[in-house]
Chains A and B, each alone.
Chain A
């Protein structure tokens, strides 16, 4: 551990909060239809888009109608993406496939399309050997924008459901939770586009590339012919992070120097990942008319986030028992940060890698700048724990907020009983219908993760994805569990090894997808994305027109320290009780022993 390491972490937490506060206020203005600074610039494209989509953004939708629009929009997006990826060769005339890549097989494409539409960005392929620039831009980057926007609008709709005060329950707009297309367009034009433009320019300044050149060939110092992959990287990198998508342009993701060139770009990238999830919490506080409600949730998230960062950083800076046994120096000395540097980039160091790792696994980003599987036992257990907490510690853009709000409602229900009143949140009573939706909304993700992991470990077809030459026993289990935890949580990061696409080199000749893993993963992502969205929207729909009771002394407060403790307790308990047995057989076994189980297998 070094002073600069702790300094980086502290500076990050402070910068994040300072940036998120004004952005939260700005986004509240965006979603309540108020004037914003970007109005003069975006007013016209906004109107054109509405005309193009033939929607009236002021026409409110009830939750069913809102959900229908969302599902139809996502379905269309999925089909377009699938077709773009499968027809990669047809677009060569655009000049955006200089390496003449053919399409990946149908099963891998099914997984990839599902992955990007659901904001997961799980990648069984590697970008620089599979996808054309056209596919990256017209296919993936488009989804990076719209899938992020879909997540955000669901959060906004749920906020409206909680915040809205309906005086006349028979009024036409009484059940309206907003207009899906209006929210979508405003999210993209007023939030995602401007910020990602700024971030893209910063990344180019720091050394990211942005071109359509063919790959560069050269002979390296070892006299071997090598190639350097090119592409429009910076633009995709910016939205990949801002939308908590995480799908790298290159296989090595943000560890690649063209994606993440410097220590400064690393810092900016981490801020870019967390800025919207953090700001949305403040947006929430403003929109429900009580900023303290936002601060309480922010505190909950920040406490859990810092807890994860501290554990991960300390574990990585300390190094593993095996490294100590091997006599590798693990203390920070002049010229070396010490600790476990395996799988980490020198330019980021241990703090920059540990922090990036936590930032992208608490959110559903899933970008990586270091190899998670090379982390120490305890350090590597942190991303598992983050995923087990169902992405509510900041979480994905929008999905983090709507997921934690479901946990808030659960905590309110249990806590509300303990103060002797029918539980109520922001004045609205939490009754049987809400609890049913909340329970299902919360349990879907762990359910999907556990069931798909069970299918993958119990079947021969599932075990085919494990490279038994290098992974056995607990490592093989960890890879599998992580793969489905990651896909169920729409995260997208991976614990190396587990694959659904074999031998994908060069032009793809001789390679094939592993149908079982591709389909299981794809369906897990779709199910675990849209089921909670529907439940969150249904909660918004049932809360929106509920009678509001004024708060009194007998009402449980949800904006103070006691509630934060209760909320953290509920999140940890649900996560721990659900995943403890599974984690036991993967990361915990590995963290408890230095034994590598060579050839043990099954």
Chain B
């Protein structure tokens, strides 16, 4: 397990949105134009065949078109007694239904494509300098090739730094403008093709095959080119196909049933009924929802390497989070001064502050800050004629010499050794103070003036702000959090309680971590984790959702199924939300789509059977009472239903791209809420919508 903190780029505070890519606006000129063209290009039946629901609509559109052409030419192919304008109107709206569906998909793809274009521009024209001085085109590099990159050059491909250290501008892929350090060995050795070396010279061993770089994958992901249907999408598609099948039988059998009742129903009307009944709304938006889900992750700077992983993230039951850097800030900060007998807290604070004045480490700064609370003003080092004694691995302490006084702070035993060497005698209370702090998970720093030990500074790793709320939120979502730490049990327990996690794994090793994941999975739980080190790789690969930090090693990035470009470990929480939102959006729109059918029945069936079993010639039959919407005319009723069916698709494009709002409130509350909005709403909305359209179609246009 890696304990290194990804400190650059600085992980944003939880919940911060600073790192999000701005969504490419749907209404940006280029995207709209391209989407409009695509929505027509996609009318190709070979494209539609992938989506059985829309294929049926397209087939219906084709048949009604042919019928109209026959009518217009003076014949009567399948039109029955329909007027030609009616057939034409239906045909046009059926085509529009397919176009709207294509438009939804094209919009979703368009947003990704805009990002892909930017990425693609980085990939071109890179020429690599091989280690032996020869040059080669970047896209011909193979795994194992060694290239030299110097300041100002683009790194030609994904690889591992095997020699040198350099600052690299990765803003092209991460959106983060601050450069990052890449060096050979350790957990910061991975470099990405297309990023720019800003200083120094490094030798990179290429780890990718041509066309399979991180950038290539990123491009195809955001473009949706490699998009394969995810398991859940396949399941939903089967259900939609099943519904389409049964409605085809319902509509096909309605013709003989109608004839038995002396009512001849025209093919145009039957096709309209079929299209109204089959779940066109969800059928049209299904792939857009999937693409948009992926896109939402990209906007959060997360690259999911498969749609399956995005779906799985919605199912996560257990979240493994590293303590250091994820749950805690990672830097130990001064929290308390523990003076020895006969020393006042203020005196200890002053000496501690003086000893830390030149110490620019976060620990040193925090001592100065804490000392301020004792009313001790910051001294000016230069005016004090102080001489700075820096920390070394040998002395294990640092401090200043002022006016012949030696002020030191450092590891307990090092300070004791120094004091004893000076002839002093450390007080008996020192040992218990040092041990007490250590057992609580803190780090004790002893403070001495010459041969006198003044007291101990309690350095503590503090839990990040807002973590407890986040864990509460996760718990409400049904996700347990397990903290992973190398600390001993006691320390781990204390921090776990403070942070509010559900469980912890103390004294963790990579093996123990892997074992924990297997254990959880054997009990049927889905496990998510983040990691960056090479020794995280096995666990990342084993976890159902493994998010690798972009700052991590190449091994880690390849083991996970997502890469977080911000290298922010708490991003997992957002990933889970995106996964859930994806499924919820599918479920909600499916429910809405099916619930819509009731109103469509009440629009179309009374129109078809208005004069069936009428007792007077040309009069209305008993079924006209079912026309509860009181629609203008039979033709207007069918047209209104079809128009509603079509325009509901573009109206729902925003919701399918944005996703249905998700709140972590527990499954039952969520189900009730969505049933109410999309179930009941889906039942009622079309009654209103169809009636309104009928008012226009019948009263204004005279149908």
A→B interface (CB under 8 Å): 410, 413-422, 427, 430-432, 434-436, 439-440, 443, 446-447, 450-451, 453-454, 457-458, 473-474, 476-477, 547-550, 552-557, 560, 562-563, 565-566, 569, 573, 576-578, 580-582, 584-585, 588-589, 592-593, 595, 597, 600, 602
Contact = CB atoms under 8 A, between A and B. Distances in A.
B584 A420 contact: yes
A477 B525 contact: no
A562 to B, nearest CB: 5
Contact of B235 (A415, A430, A474, A566): A430
A36 B587 CA distance: 45
Contact of A443 (B246, B259, B594, B601): B246
Interface size bucket, B side? 35 or more
30 contacts: A414-B590, A415-B671, A417-B586, A419-B584, A419-B671, A420-B579, A420-B662, A421-B580, A430-B235, A431-B235, A435-B235, A446-B246, A477-B261, A552-B479, A554-B479, A554-B666, A556-B671, A560-B668, A569-B675, A573-B594, A573-B598, A576-B598, A580-B601, A582-B257, A585-B257, A589-B261, A589-B622, A593-B613, A602-B259, A602-B262
A457 B257 contact: yes
Majority DSSP secondary structure for residues of A touching B = helix
A581 B590 contact: no
B239 to A, nearest CB: 5
B605 interface: yes
A555 B296 CA distance: 24
A569 to B, nearest CB: 7
B667 A555 contact: yes
Nearest to B251: A581
Contact of A550 (B260, B477, B523, B598): B523
Given A432-B234, A554-B479, A454 B591 contact: no
B24 interface: no
Given A431-B231, A581-B257, 8 more contacts: A436-B242, A446-B249, A552-B478, A555-B478, A562-B672, A573-B597, A592-B623, A597-B613
B623 A589 contact: yes
B675 A582 contact: no
Residue picked from B312, B526, B670, most chain A C-beta under 10 Å: B670
Contacts of A450: 249-250, 253
B332 interface: no
Contacts of A415: 587, 671, 675
Interface in B597-622: 597-598, 601, 605, 609, 612-613, 615, 621-622
A457 B254 CA distance: 11
A581 B626 CA distance: 12
Nearest to B521: A547
B375 to A, nearest CB: 49
Contacts, number: 210
Given A432-B238, A552-B317, A584 B623 contact: yes
A576 B683 CA distance: 13
Interface string B620-652: 011101100000000000000000000000000
Contact of B613 (A417, A419, A436, A473): A473
Contacts of B312: 422
Contacts of B525: 549-550
Residue picked from A416, A435, A474, most chain B C-beta under 10 Å: A435
B26 interface: no
Contacts of A566: 671, 675
B272 to A, nearest CB: 13
B235 A432 contact: yes
Contacts of A421: 314-315, 580, 583, 667
A307 to B, nearest CB: 18
B476 interface: yes
A310 B524 CA distance: 45
Contacts of A458: 256, 259-260
Nearest to B677: A418
Given A447-B246, A473-B261, A554-B479, A436 B238 contact: yes
Contacts of A443: 242, 245-246
A458 B253 CA distance: 9
Contact of B674 (A418, A555, A593, A602): A418
In the complex, the 9 A-B pairs of residues with the closest C-beta atoms, listed nearest first: A554-B478, A417-B587, A420-B580, A439-B242, A553-B478, A458-B256, A418-B587, A549-B524, A454-B253
Interface in B247-289: 247, 249-250, 252-254, 256-262, 277
A477 B258 CA distance: 10
A187 B315 CA distance: 40
Interface string B575-598: 000011111101110110011011
B261 A585 contact: yes
Contacts of B317: 549-550, 552, 554
Contact of B315 (A422, A440, A553, A580): A422
